[in-house]
Structure 1
C-alpha cells in the first residue's frame, strides 16, 4: 500500500513568527501550546517579515520555509468580497499561504513569494462578522448556477483549508458556524486529503472541491500535495460524511497529449466514484494563468515546471487590476482548448455539472 501523505509529512514547525497580541487570543494560545519547542519570533505584522517576504532572499529556502515556518497574526480587515463564480462571497480569510508549493500558485505573488501558512487567531471576530453578514443577506429566493438554495461563502481563497485544519480548529469552527446559518453554506478547494475532517459532520452545508488534473502533470507542478488518485479515492467517503463533494479542474495546462491525459483521469473518476457522489458532482474549469515575476522566481527552485508553465509562443499578456503582468493562452488557442475540454467533460462525465469554464 502506498504511503498516504499526512500533515506530519508537510509540516515540522521549527519557527513561529507571531504578532505581539497573539497570546491574548485563545486560538493563539492553543497553537503555541501545540508547538512548544518552536522558536518564537515577534513581528510587527504578519505581512511584513523581511526574511520571508521578498523573493530574492528566500528562493533558496523556499521549501524549508513551507515545511518549517508558521506565522500567527490577526485578520484586520473583515469584509466580504462579492463573487460570481464558485461562490457568492469571498469571506475574510482565516489563513493565508500554504504549506504546499504548487508552482503556478497566484497567492505568493501577492505576498512576497515566500509564503508559508499564516493562521489568523481572531477566529471569533471573523465568525461574528460572517454571522452578521449572512443575516443581512436574508433568505436566497432564486436558484442560480452557484447554488439552488444557499448563499455560498468561499473560505479558502488564499490557502488550503484541509492543511489549515490539521493545525487548529479554525476550519472546524467555520464548518460548525455554517451548519447554524439557515441561508448560507461554505466552500473551499483543496489539494490535500485530511481524513480528520471526516468527523466534522458538516450536514451538507460545506462544499469541498477537490482540485484535479492529470497525474503526470500534477506530479510535476503540484509540489507537496496529495496524489491525484488519493484525492479521487476519498471523495465517496467525504460525501458519506456529510460534505457536498465537487471537483475543480484547475489549472488546466496545455501540452502535447494533454487531452488524452484528461480522458484517462475521467475514466478513473468513472470507475471510483459511486452513484451518489456522481449525482451531486459539479466542477469549474480554469485554464492556466501565469505571471512573469513568479516565472523568474520558479526558475530558482523548480525550473522543470516552467518548461510547461511558461510558453511564450502560445501565451499572451494580460495585465491584472493591480498592474501585474500575467500571461494566459492566446485567444484563438484558448477558445479551441476550452471547447475541447468542455466537450470531453460532457461526454465522459455526463453527470457532472459544469458551473463555468474559462
Structure 2
C-alpha cells in the first residue's frame, strides 16, 4: 500500500461566502487540524496574496466558484465535459501547463460550493462530442473530467471533494463516468467508497528522465503501487503518459515504464485499461512563467528545436517537429502493444 505524505499549506485564506457552505467549513476544519494558519478574510475578494513563488505554493484559499466557473466546458480529447473542484496544484512540475492557463500567483483555490457545481452536471447527460457520440468510447457514457486545473488527489485530505464526487457518480444511476488524473498516491481513503465503477482513476506517469522534473510529487514506484491498489478496489484505471519528452535514452525508458506498469497490474484484468499519450508543448507565456519559477531548469524549451502550431483560439504553441513526433509515436505505441496488449489507447496528442 502506498505511503501517504500529504501536502499541508502554511496559510489558508477563507472568504466569508465559503463558510456559508458546509463543505467549505469542513475544509477549514481539516486544514486547521493539520496545522495550517487560518486567515478569515473580511470580504469575498481575495487579498493578501503572496508575491513569491515559494509562499504562493504554500497557500490555499477556500472560495466560492462563480457562476461562470461552475459552468462545465467541453474538454476534447479527454472527455465530454470539464468541471473544476479547485485551481492550482501542490506539486512543483517544471513543465506545469497551468503556468500558461491560470493567472496570478500559483496558490490553490479550493471551491466550497460543491453542491452547486455538481448540480450543473445533470442537464448534460447524453450531451457532448467525445464519448457521448463516439462509437469507440460509447461504453464510457457521458464523461466528466475534474482534474484539468488541479490534481484533486493531492489536496483531497483537505477538501474531501473527490470522495464526494465519487459518491455522487456512484449514486447517479445513468451511463456516466467521472475521470481524474493524478500524480499522487494517497488513495487509501478512496478504496472503500461506493464508486460502482463510475470513476476512472488515471495516473500521470513518465520516463525516468521526465520524472526529475516533477518535484513535490510521489516517485513513480509509489504511483504504480497506488495504481494497483485502486485497480484491486474495482476502479476502472488508466495511464496518462505525459508530457512525453525526447530526452536521452527515451526509447528504453518509456519501454521500461510500460514494463513496470505491466508488473504493477500483474494478476489484475486489464481489458478496460486506457492510455492517453500527451507530448510536451509550451507557449511563449508558459515558458516565461516557468523559467521565472524554475530559473535553473534543464527542461528543453528551445524554440529552435520545435515547430510552432496555432491553437483553435489563434494562439501559438511550440510542439515537437512532425518527424520526431512520428518516430516517438511509433516506438511508444509498439511498446504498448508488446507490454500492455489489452490496453486501449484513447489518443495521442
Query: TM bucket by the smaller chain?
Result: 0.7 to 0.9
Q: Which residue, out of 272, 281, 300, partners 2:273?
A: 281
Q: Which moved more, 1:76-85 or 1:99-108?
A: 76-85
Give, in whole Å, the separation in 2 of the partners of 1:332 and 1:45. 48
Q: Normalising by structure 1, what TM-score?
A: 0.86
User: Per the alignment, do residues 215 and 192 of structure 1 end up closer, same or farther by CA in structure 2, a change over 3 Å counting?
Assistant: same
2:205, 2:242 within 8 Å by CA — same for their partners in 1?
A: yes
2:264 match = 272
Q: CA shift at 1:298, angstroms?
A: 2.8
Q: CA shift at 1:319, angstroms?
A: 4.0
Give, in whole Å, the separation in 1 of the partners of 2:347 and 2:38. 44
Give, in whole Å, the separation in 2 of the partners of 1:321 and 1:44. 34
Matches within 5 A, 1:239-318: 239-305=231-297, 307-318=298-309
2:17 match = 21
Q: Which residue, out of 312, 325, 329, partners 1:338?
A: 329
Give, in whole Å, the separation in 1 of the partners of 2:126 and 2:15. 31
| Structure 1 residues without counterparts, runs of 5 or longer | 53-57
User: Per the alignment, do residues 118 and 69 of structure 1 end up closer, same or farther by CA in structure 2, a change over 3 Å counting?
Assistant: same
1:294-327 deviations in Å (ceiling 9; x for gaps): 323333342443x233133321223445565421
Q: CA shift at 1:229, angstroms?
A: 1.0
1:191, 1:211 within 8 Å by CA — same for their partners in 2?
A: yes
2:95, 2:299 within 8 Å by CA — same for their partners in 1?
A: no
User: Per the alignment, do residues 251 and 205 of structure 1 end up closer, same or farther by CA in structure 2, a change over 3 Å counting?
Assistant: same
1:55 match = none
Give, in whole Å, the separation in 2 of the partners of 1:222 and 1:63. 16
Q: CA shift at 1:80, angstroms?
A: 2.2
Q: CA shift at 1:163, angstroms?
A: 1.6
Give, in whole Å, the separation in 1 of the partners of 2:247 and 2:93. 18
Q: CA shift at 1:183, angstroms?
A: 2.0
Work out whether 1:211 is the aligned partner of 2:199.
no
Matches within 5 A, 1:55-134: 58=51, 61-66=52-57, 68-76=58-66, 77=68, 78-90=70-82, 92-112=83-103, 114-134=105-125
SS at match of 2:93: coil
Q: CA shift at 1:133, angstroms?
A: 2.8
Give, in whole Å, the separation in 2 of the partners of 1:217 and 1:100. 14
1:32-65 deviations in Å (ceiling 9; x for gaps): 223344233455445xx5844xxxxx4xx32342
Matches within 5 A, 1:30-49: 30-36=26-32, 37-42=37-42, 44-45=44-45
Q: Which residue, out of 137, 150, 154, partners 1:159?
A: 150
Matches within 5 A, 1:2-13: 4-7=3-6, 10-11=7-8, 13=9
Give, in whole Å, the separation in 1 of the partners of 2:198 and 2:334. 30
Work out whether 1:197 is the aligned partner of 2:193.
no
1:288, 1:328 within 8 Å by CA — same for their partners in 2?
A: yes
Q: CA shift at 1:334, angstroms?
A: 1.6
Instruction: Give the paired residue count.
Output: 339
Q: CA shift at 1:282, angstroms?
A: 1.3
Give, in whole Å, the separation in 2 of the partners of 1:164 and 1:132. 28
2:84, 2:149 within 8 Å by CA — same for their partners in 1?
A: yes
Q: CA shift at 1:257, angstroms?
A: 1.3
Q: CA shift at 1:18, angstroms?
A: 3.1
Give, in whole Å, the separation in 2 of the partners of 1:331 and 1:42. 53
SS at match of 1:166: helix
Q: CA shift at 1:159, angstroms?
A: 0.4
**Over aligned residue pairs, what C-alpha RMSD do you find?**
2.5
Q: CA shift at 1:175, angstroms?
A: 0.9
More helix by share: 1
User: Per the alignment, do residues 258 and 311 of structure 1 end up closer, same or farther by CA in structure 2, a change over 3 Å counting?
Assistant: farther
2:126, 2:141 within 8 Å by CA — same for their partners in 1?
A: no
1:86-128 deviations in Å (ceiling 9; x for gaps): 21222x2111111112121222322225322211111111122
Q: CA shift at 1:162, angstroms?
A: 0.7
Give, in whole Å, the separation in 2 of the partners of 1:319 and 1:135. 31
1:221 match = 213
Give, in whole Å, the separation in 2 of the partners of 1:329 and 1:42. 48
SS at match of 2:60: strand
Give, in whole Å, the separation in 1 of the partners of 2:315 and 2:92. 21
